[in-house]
Structure 1
Amino acid sequence: MNTIDDLLKVLTLDKTDSHTFSGFSKTIGSPNVFGGQVLAQALHAAYQTVPKERVVHSLHSYFLLPGDLTIPISYRVNEMRNGGSFSTRRVTAVQNDQTIFILAASFHKREDGHEHQESINTDIKQPEELMSWNEMLEQFGDFLPNKMKAFLSIERPVDFKPVEIMNSMEQKDLPAVEDVWFKLRGNAGNLDLDVKQQILTYISDYNILTAALKPNASKAHFGNTQMASLDHSMWFFRDFDFDDWMLFSAKSPSTSGARGFATGNIFTRDGKLIASVAQEGLMRPKTR
């Protein structure tokens, strides 16, 4: 995948019956299915069963088993509630008769109400001052560990520009924050809100656990730490467009017991808060 069109083909599921859907997978460099893909596909499945005037405002999920990249994933949607203002759906993802993922999502009819939001950090570098993952690979590829080089070599429909690059060679502990600018590749105009939310859900599983790894960067890095998403929650606040760079600003309150916890806010470049994310992930030191 290297454009938004490629991503949309992955996120759009085949309909098996009114409440069952099937999807295929694309690697992002891991031997298992990317968590963000399962999240976004499950949200797509749920959206097919709710009234058109309702949009997702929150989702909560658990990753139960690693997904197999070579086998289609079946998504079963259960209608848990259809109220006057809210609809709730439960989605179960299955491979080989085993449940690998579960999601609960709530949808709300559009209403007007009070407004406030947290502000974007204006003291960080802008995207034009930073290197993308592709540029990092081109400039430093010969010096990167093989696993990191292979990960960065995968074609993606999203460009990422971290504000601070974590260098495992420095063996230096860093603050528990991770700010990353991101932008879709290709024409992202004229997308419906439900599609934009599915894409944002896909992207939200990138980078967030880096904030939980940084405070132990003097001894821990991606090469010697087993990392995997355990759960993932999102809250969606406002409509938006993918016409410019957006900022994913994450921080980690705690890491312990081989698990790391991080939260994040997603902003448009002009400072509109679009969504918030929370995730706990496995962060197990490898013994060999």
Structure 2
Amino acid sequence: MTNPAERLVDLLDLEQIEVNIFRGASPQESLQRVFGGQVAGQALVAAGRTVESDRPVHSLHAYFLRPGIPGVPIVYQVERVRDGRSFTTRRVTAVQQGKTIFNLTASFHHPEEGGIEHQLPPHHVPHPDTLPKLADEIREHLGALPEALERMARRQPFDIRYVNRLRWTPEELKGSDPRSAVWMRAVGPLGDDPLIHTCALTYASDMTLLDAVRIPVEPLWGMRGFDMASLDHAMWFHRPFRADEWFLYDQESPIAHGGRGLARGRIYDVEGRLLVSVVQEGLFRPYPAKPSRSAQPARQSEPTPEN
């Protein structure tokens, strides 16, 4: 398979190895850890495969407990917590090399009619067709994509277009609000299984949400001053959608403090209907400053901190 959208569908197609146990592939990537959106999407597939198809997922709450190891399969163990008349609840534990790396609780709801109806409208933004692709915008600034980014762009299953042009200098960042917005859609068809579209969007929801935390501090692409990691993730699914059609991901960060940053996202379709709400907290640790050439190495008798 050469199409990144097809590879994403294949990544979400878990192998069932027991009644409530599934195994997911973890591609060998040149990354320090498995992408969190992959683990969340696969865990939601595992949960959904144990629920009747007439009950779509309406919410999930998850914690990233340990970094996943690229190239090592992940086993997903599903606990059937409750099967009610209207709601179904599943708990999923992701295990890699005998250790729990992630857990997720998902709730599924049989659709109902009536009740209160309202939503916050989206901000007015340009149509995605008028905006440059992310890779093209980076090429325009750098002249060419670095080899690592070029490989990532070829494997990227989503077309990403930032509503505002990327900022590259401290002067451009000065006074920036902690907000970001991107248009996204899968780069190819994802088939007709609604669960796959839900899990593909869950995958995508972890890709840019923490941008809102970083925007006032550093450029989104280029040299990073922080080691970032997702800590927890929550989503509420309001309406049916297709992840291979354009959706607007409107993001904001109400606070960053104590090494953690909180981000909230609202996902709309091109008609302005609110599809999904997202909240995530991330860990932000500054990279240690490189010692100057004149700095002397530490004596062997001095202890070295592990973390």
Contact 1:4 1:185 in 2 (8 A): yes
SS in 1 for 2:68: coil
Q: Secondary structure at the match of 2:56?
A: strand
Runs of 5+ consecutive residues of structure 2 not aligned to the other structure: 290-307
Structure 1: any 5+ residue segments left out of the alignment? Answer: none
Which residue in 2 is equivalent to 1:14? Answer: 15
Return the offset for 1:109: 1.0
Distance in 2 separating the partners of 1:222 and 1:266: 28
Match of 1:5 in 2: 6
Correspondence for 2:165: 165
Structure 1 runs of 4+ aligned residues shifted over 6 Å read: none
1:72 corresponding residue in structure 2 = 73
Q: Provide the identity percentage.
A: 39
* Range that drifts further, 38-47 or 158-167: 158-167
Partner of 1:185: 187
Larger deviation, residues 22-31 vs 204-213: 22-31
Task: Give the conservation status (yes or no) of the 8 Å contact 1:137–1:153.
Answer: no
Other-structure match for 2:61: 60
Per-residue deviation, 1:6: 1.4
Q: Which deviates more from structure 2 when the two are superposed, residues 194-203 or residues 248-257?
A: 194-203
Q: How does 1:1-288 map to 2 (within 5 A)?
A: 2-26=3-27, 30-114=31-115, 115-122=117-124, 124-142=125-143, 149=149, 153-171=153-171, 172-173=173-174, 174-188=176-190, 191-217=192-218, 223-242=224-243, 244-288=245-289
> How far off is 1:152 after superposition?
5.2
Is contact 2:218-2:224 (8 Å) kept? Answer: no
Could you say if the C-alpha distance between residues 283 and 2 of structure 1 is closer, same or farther in structure 2, counting changes exceeding 3 Å?
Answer: farther
The alignment's TM-score, normalised by the length of structure 2, stands at: 0.86
Deviation at 1:186, TM superposition (A): 1.5
The alpha carbon displacement at 1:221 in A equals 7.5
Q: Is the 8 A contact 1:161 1:180 kept in 2?
A: yes
> Counterparts of 2:147 and 2:183 in 1: how far apart (Å)?
23
Residues 217 and 44 of structure 1: CA distance in aligned 2, closer, same or farther (over 3 Å): same
> What is the deviation of 1:227?
0.6
Go from structure 1 to structure 2 and tell me whether the alpha carbon gap of 1:70 and 1:27 turns closer, same or farther (over 3 Å shift). Answer: closer
Distance between the aligned counterparts of 1:179 and 1:139, measured in 2? 20
Give me the whole-angstrom Cα distance separating, in 2, the residues matched to 1:136 and 1:168. 11
Q: In structure 2, how many angstroms separate the alpha carbons of the residues matched to 1:147 and 1:116?
A: 46
Q: Deviations over 1:176-223 (max 9, x none)?
A: 1110001211224x52322211111011001100101112238x9861
Question: What is the aligned-residue RMSD (CA, Å)?
Answer: 2.3
Aligned equivalents of 2:201, 2:17: Cα separation in 1: 25
Q: 1:162 to 1:253 in 2, by over 3 A?
A: same
TM-score (norm 1): 0.91
For residues 150 and 185 of structure 1, do their structure 2 counterparts lie closer, same or farther at Cα, with a shift above 3 Å needed?
closer
Determine if contact 2:200/2:243 at 8 Å carries over to the other structure.
no
